[in-house]
Amino acid sequence: MTNQPAESEARPELPDEVSVLPLRNTVLFPGSIIPIDVGRPKSVKLIEEAIREERPIIGIVTQKEARTEEPGDDDLHKVGCAGRILKVIKLAKDNYSVILQGVMRIRVEEITTHEPFIHARVTEVHDITTGTEVESQALVANIRETAKKLISLVPELPREAATLLDSVSDAGQVGDLVVSNLDIETSEKQDVLEAADVLERLRKVLTLLTRQLEILKVRERINSQVQEEMGHSQREYVLRQQLKAIKGELGEIDDEGGDADEFQKKIADAKMPEEAQKVALKQLDRLRQMQQSSAEYTVTRTYLEWLVELPWSTSTEDQIDIKTVREVLDEDHYDLEKVKKRILEYMAVLKLNASKKGPILCLLGPQAWARPRSARASPGPSVASSFASRWAACATKRRSAVTVGPTWARFRVGSSRA
């Protein structure tokens, strides 16, 4: 924060007509000190003429559009700031660095000429107090408290800024000092500069200051979350490296590492659905943390083997022909009329509406997959044969389960309904 107390020097008198220096993307406030670069031809002429006089007063007015190279009467704001040149440094030919100090608010009444640079008739804009002293003190206190919180969140700001803020007693100057150092839009700063009513100015400053504080708090929270996540990842990496070193000392790293890497490749090659792949990767992470000698390791490894061996991405096209299904069932199985009838009914509905989501037929029977023309043989192979699909069996304890329907891919290798 930069501020020059008004008492340090005698307040200069404002002439009726001043040279006007248009600024882009910058607003000068009374009491503040800012550096600017001057490079436009008319601005260079203004500075070169001004430095021939002793600390002259010039008008500092912000352009409405920064892209305008030669601003006209309508391209400049009507309210600006009278300022004096504290220091001029020549950087190159027709290029200066100038230190300006704001003195007072001014209103541009009329632009008299644009050559060789802008001249205008101006009047001073005096502060107006419409509210009570108590309200003004309350706003100033809130601004100081909020500004100090903001200073604590910005390491680039010197801690002396809070002391400087306490040293300013005038309410209007407090608002000007704070808003001149906020990282906000130029239009928002210009809006505060044009507020002659001190209470209105303080309310606007408090609103902008509170918003800026909230933005910094959110940024700080996001940064903390990112740092925490990075710290967690780094800690996990270090622990994994330590675990790898320990297992290396125990002679377990090669076998287990080989299992994990092999399953990682098989999971990728299996082309599982997203949900199944998520489960497989979770189990693989568990496997990496287990000792090979534990019983849980064997269970998890077996489960992973079962997952990667399922034909997730293999499919065959079903050929539903009711007549063929009936012939195959009669040829392979004697009697079982109720079972055959239920299967045929289901196939008929499935043929009419292949996308139907209805009941699933689960046929329970003995392990007699290769005993055709037997009343006790399972009709599962016959159903698969009539569909021109490959058959696979899944035994459940001492009974065999055959699922017929949209979910039979668990038992029929390559069903298109997996």
Query: Euclidean distance between the first and final Cα of the chain, in Å?
Result: 67
Question: pTM of this prediction?
Answer: 0.53
CA atoms of 12 and 15, how far apart (whole Å): 9
Cα angle, residue 258 at apex, residues 254 and 261 outer, rounded to 5°? 140
Polymer length in residues for the chain: 418
Largest distance between two CA atoms of the chain: 120
Q: Cα 8 to the chain's mean position, in Å?
A: 48
* Residue in the structure block whose two tokens are 């079972």: 339
State residue 404's pLDDT score. Answer: 41
State residue 409's pLDDT score. Answer: 34
| Residues of the chain under the 70 pLDDT cut | 1-10, 54-55, 158-159, 247, 250-258, 293, 315-319, 354-359, 363-418
Q: Are 148 and 163 in contact (CB under 8 A)?
A: no
Count the neighbouring beta carbons within 10 Å of the beta carbon of residue 380: 23
Give me 328's structure tokens. 């195959």
- Helix, strand, coil % over all residues of the chain, rounded to 5: 50, 20, 35
CA atoms of 164 and 33, how far apart (whole Å): 14
* CA nearest to 208, candidates 120, 272, 142, 257: 142
CA atoms of 34 and 102, how far apart (whole Å): 9
Three-state DSSP class for 393? coil
CA atoms of 257 and 248, how far apart (whole Å): 10
Looking from the CA of 4 toward its CB, the CA atoms found within 13 Å total 20
Q: Of all helices (H) and strands (E), which one includes residue 111?
A: strand 95-113
State residue 305's pLDDT score. Answer: 86
Q: Are 415 and 316 in contact (CB under 8 A)?
A: yes
CA atoms of 132 and 124, how far apart (whole Å): 24
DSSP code of 177? Answer: H
* CA nearest to 255, candidates 306, 309, 301, 299: 301
Give me 388's structure tokens. 């021109």
CA atoms of 159 and 166, how far apart (whole Å): 12
State the sign of the Cα–Cα–Cα–Cα dihedral 170, 172, 175, 176.
Answer: negative
State residue 403's pLDDT score. Answer: 42
